[in-house]
Each structure stands twice: as C-alpha cells, then as structure tokens.
Amino acid sequence: MKWKVIIILLVIIIAGYAYVSSLSSPYAPMGRLSFVKILNPDMAQGNPHSKLVAQYAHERGSNTALVCHLAGHKTGYPCYYEGDVFIEELGFIDTQRGYSTTINWGDVVQGFLFGISDGRYDYVSDGIVFDNLSDALAYLDKKAAQNGQVGPRLMFWHGTVRTDNPIINQGCGFPLYFQICDHYYGRLGAYYYAFTGMIFPYLYSPYRNFEIMNAPELQYDYNHGLLGPLVVD
C-alpha cells in the first residue's frame, strides 16, 4: 500500500512539473498519431492521418500542429495546410546509424536515461537540413508565426511502424518527440509526455483497432507499394 501511495505522489508531482513547464513552451505534446500506414503518403493533404491531426487541432482550439518523423531522406517533410490547420513536419536524421525502422535497445536505454545526443542527429523540414535542434525549432517557430498561429501548437510523433510489432515499437519520430520534450520540459517532463503520449492513440484515434488488427497486411502493402507511391518516412 505504501508503494502505491508513493507512485501516485510521484505521478502527481511529475504531472504538475510538466504542466507548469508547459506554460512557457510553444508546444502542447499530445503523443503518438498512428500505428501503421493506411494510405501513402499519409502525411499529405487529404489523407486520413493528416485529417486526423487537423481534427485534433480543431477540438483543442488550435490551428497549428507539428508531426515528428524519422527521416529517410533530406528532400521532404514539407509544412502544409490541411484545411485551415497548418501542419509542420520535422524529421531527424541519424548521422551515425543511418535510416533504420527497427528498435536498437541500446539507443533506447541511452536516450531514456541520458537524453538524446545533440551532436548525433541532423534535422529536416521543408527540405532544409539543420545540424542542430535549436535552429530547426527556431525555423518552425518562424513558420508558425508567419501562418498566424492560434492556440497551442499541438505536437505528435508519427508513430508508423514498417516491419516490427507496432505496439512494442513506438514507431516513426518517437526519439525526436522525446528530445523536443526534453528540450522544453526537462527529463522529468519528457518521461511524463512520453508515457502519456503512448496512451494517447488508444484513447483518441478512430483508426486504432483497424491499424492494430490489420498491421501485418498494411505493413506488407506499404512495403510493396500497394498503399500508394512508396515514400520512406
């Protein structure tokens, strides 16, 4: 019983810390957007996951959102409009290991305990490559301001998984989401938003059951170009 009380108090303290920190942050971290691709490219105007981001933004009084990716190339991740919602995209490029969609548990433990190395990644948005996170975030701040940001700027990680189990593998963009949360909220805040973000799609995504139940088939279709033009992101 004593341990249950301690755990509850820790959760309350961390949640309170994250909330106070959020008052000075430009982002409202929401969590994972999806489990697998259901149409490709899914982060493009008119496609299901893109419309879902716009829906979430409308429900929360926002007109701007950021989707974090694992970048498979340096030429894309454009910012665009889904209706009247401005969707920003930011991908991170692993300069040491290159593009990989499978879990490296050593990296997971290292990042979870000590944070994401500032010098390991490049970042790309609108086809522009940045060699540090601060410059990439400054670029997104400028774009949001130019497009008349209203309300909190919602933040998601893409979450799609190409080959692994999409429940275990947190998918495309999770390390970048964690790094941005760490940047603005500190490590405790990053832990809080990582765990709440993992729960988010189970509570709110209308595609949750379809994606999970049909994950092997959808992954096969994506990897064989059957969901639309094959795009690595």
Domain membership flag for residue 23: yes
- Which phi and psi angles does 34 have, rounded to 5°? -155, 170
Give the global pTM.
Answer: 0.86
State the CB neighbour count (10 A cutoff) for residue 94.
16
Note the pLDDT of residue 6. Answer: 54
Task: Give the total number of structural domains in the chain.
Answer: 1
* Percent of the chain topping pLDDT 90: 63
Region 180-205 average pLDDT: 94
Domain membership flag for residue 229: no
Domain membership flag for residue 164: yes
Report the chain's C-alpha Rg in angstroms.
17
Query: How confident is residue 94, by pLDDT bands cut at 50, 70 and 90?
Result: confident
pLDDT value at 202 more than 90: yes
Domain membership flag for residue 230: no
Note the pLDDT of residue 87. Answer: 98
pLDDT value at 209 more than 90: yes
pLDDT single digits (tens) 18-74: 555 545 578 999 999 999 999 988 799 999 999 999 999 999 999 999 999 998 777
Q: Which domain holds residue 98?
A: 2-223
Task: Identify the H or E element spanning 13.
Answer: helix 2-22
Region 87-95 average pLDDT: 91
Left if phi > 0, otherwise alpha if psi is -120 to 50, otherwise beta: which for 218?
Answer: alpha
Domain membership flag for residue 233: no
Q: Provide the pairing of β-strand 85-94 with 64-70.
A: parallel
Domain membership flag for residue 210: yes
Domain membership flag for residue 231: no
Question: What burial class does residue 207 get, using C-beta atoms within 10 Å of its C-beta: 0-12 exposed, 13-18 middle, 19+ buried?
Answer: middle
Note the pLDDT of residue 121. Answer: 87
